């Protein structure tokens, strides 16, 4: 069953990346830009076919995908510096020449850099936008179609003992009162209750005094007398975990699937985007903690950052969890939520305004549009496209940092994995 979850994650990743690259390819070809390749995977080519000047194919390693758009970089100004102090071509000039090689004679107008800023924005935002749509679809299916588990007023389990064991001298209060799984709690003390939140609040308000509890059992109303006891329980707040003494009766709720209105999906999508952005802001600190856990062997927190291997492990945990109450539909819903979270991460991460990410190209196109507008207002000549090739050294630095981050997370996910259960 673990393998099934991992397989789902791999397929979800390939579909997400494949559609992301289509988000770049379709508008680029629509605007007449030359797109030479569209591939799923990396490494040796397993299959390919050329259609309308674009080679579509599948490669051996299912670790992502790419689309090759010709002429991403402009040729640069005539007075640019092309050599470094050693007499070798600068990294920027090498990048310009590589970009120019993709354009054959007579195809100069099909270069990406010749697009106006608005069309550049459409092409480069097309990829992340598809991931946002996929995240929305996943949430829509889960929240409005499958539904999410919600604790109900029906008793799911009744603990036999205070300490959670099955044999003891003193039974838990609910068991001692005769409460059974399947009882529907209608009233606790002086409060009518309709959901689990109301039950928890009523138990806390009743304290440890004997309390009349009305339940519906087999269609008939029954009154029980429950006397809660104070028990130590862990509580978590912004300050961390602590142990508190609370009234305890020894019951847990049965869960029922609840579907949400489509309008709730928008709010859930916004909350997911906000949480993802906050996680990216905490990324440096999270990487430091992950690296430290490899040295100190500390257990990684369940809400810490994970790499693609860790996400695959979580998918495996979902499909292999040993719980009769955790049915197939619930597992599928959680897998879809995981896929939606993956797409939201791709959306937010790709908007970081650094090359070679899509956000870097979006920033360049935005700057180009502002610079051209300012030149028109001042009556000056069109300054032309932004020479993003000058940022090639920065692009290499970002790529190296990304590779290092990926390597760290892969090692951590294998050596000290995060587990949900």
Residue whose C-alpha is closest to residue 415's, from 280, 256, 276, 296: 296
Residues in CB range of 229: below 8 A, 6 or more apart: 162, 173, 208, 247, 248
Q: Is 21 in the active site?
A: yes
Other CB atoms within 10 A of residue 289 CB: 16
Question: How far apart are the C-alpha atoms of 152 and 199, rounded to whole Å?
Answer: 10
Question: How far apart are the C-alpha atoms of 413 and 294, rounded to whole Å?
Answer: 10
Question: How far apart are the C-alpha atoms of 361 and 373, rounded to whole Å?
Answer: 18
Question: How far apart are the C-alpha atoms of 275 and 281, rounded to whole Å?
Answer: 10
Contact 345, 283 (CB under 8 A): no
Question: How far apart are the C-alpha atoms of 148 and 171, rounded to whole Å?
Answer: 33
* DSSP code per residue over 336-391: HHHHHHHHHHHHHHHTSS-TTSHHHHHHHHHHHHHHHHHHHHTTPPP--S--GGGG
Question: How far apart are the C-alpha atoms of 280 and 345, rounded to whole Å?
Answer: 9
Question: How far apart are the C-alpha atoms of 101 and 108, rounded to whole Å?
Answer: 11
Contact 192, 212 (CB under 8 A): no
Omega before residue 356 within 30° of 0, cis: yes
Question: How far apart are the C-alpha atoms of 107 and 34, rounded to whole Å?
Answer: 8
Contact 135, 347 (CB under 8 A): yes
Question: How far apart are the C-alpha atoms of 206 and 187, rounded to whole Å?
Answer: 12
Residue whose C-alpha is closest to residue 229's, from 212, 252, 247: 247
Question: How far apart are the C-alpha atoms of 5 and 332, rounded to whole Å?
Answer: 9
Cα-to-chain-centroid distance, residue 64: 16
In which region does residue 34 sit, left (phi positive, over 0), alpha (psi from -120 to 50) or beta (all else)?
beta
Residues acting as catalytic residues: 21
């Amino acid at each position: 069953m673990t393998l099934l979850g991992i397989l789902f994650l791999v397929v979800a990743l390939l579909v997400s990346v494949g559609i992301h690259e289509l988000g770049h390819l379709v508008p680029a070809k629509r605007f007449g830009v030359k797109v030479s390749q569209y591939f799923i995977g990396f490494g040796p080519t397993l299959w390919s076919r050329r259609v309308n000047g674009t080679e579509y194919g599948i490669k051996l390693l299912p670790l992502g995908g790419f689309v090759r758009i010709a002429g991403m970089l402009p040729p640069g100004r005539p007075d640019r510096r092309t050599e470094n102090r050693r007499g070798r071509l600068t990294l920027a000039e090498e990048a310009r020449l590589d970009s120019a090689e993709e354009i054959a004679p007579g195809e100069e107008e099909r270069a990406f850099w010749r697009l106006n800023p608005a069309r550049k924005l459409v092409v480069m935002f097309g990829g992340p936008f598809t991931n946002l749509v996929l995240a929305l679809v996943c949430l829509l299916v889960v929240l409005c179609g499958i539904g999410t588990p919600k604790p109900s007023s029906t008793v799911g389990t009744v603990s036999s003992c205070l300490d959670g064991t099955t044999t003891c001298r003193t039974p838990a209060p609910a068991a001692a009162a005769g409460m059974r799984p399947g009882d529907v709690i209608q009233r606790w003390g002086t409060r009518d209750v309709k959901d689990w939140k109301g039950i928890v609040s009523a138990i806390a308000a009743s304290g440890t005094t004997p309390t009349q509890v009305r339940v519906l059992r087999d269609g008939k109303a029954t009154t029980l007398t429950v006397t809660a006891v104070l028990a130590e329980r862990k509580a978590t707040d912004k300050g961390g975990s602590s142990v508190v003494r609370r009234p305890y009766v020894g019951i847990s709720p049965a869960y029922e699937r609840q579907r949400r209105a489509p309008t709730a999906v928008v709010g859930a999508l916004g909350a997911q985007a906000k949480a993802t952005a906050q996680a990216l802001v905490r990324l440096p600190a999270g990487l430091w903690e992950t690296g430290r856990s490899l040295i100190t062997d500390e257990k990684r927190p369940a809400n810490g950052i994970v790499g693609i291997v860790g996400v695959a492990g979580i998918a495996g945990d979902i499909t292999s969890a040993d719980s009769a109450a955790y049915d197939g539909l619930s597992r599928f819903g959680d897998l879809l939520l995981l896929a939606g979270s993956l797409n939201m991460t791709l959306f937010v991460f790709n908007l970081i305004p650094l090359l070679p990410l899509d956000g870097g190209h979006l920033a360049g196109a935005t700057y180009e549009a502002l610079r051209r507008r300012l030149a028109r207002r001042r009556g000056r000549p069109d300054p032309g496209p932004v020479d993003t090739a000058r940022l090639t050294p920065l692009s290499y630095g970002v790529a190296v940092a990304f590779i290092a981050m990926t390597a760290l997370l892969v090692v951590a996910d294998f050596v000290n994995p995060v587990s949900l259960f």
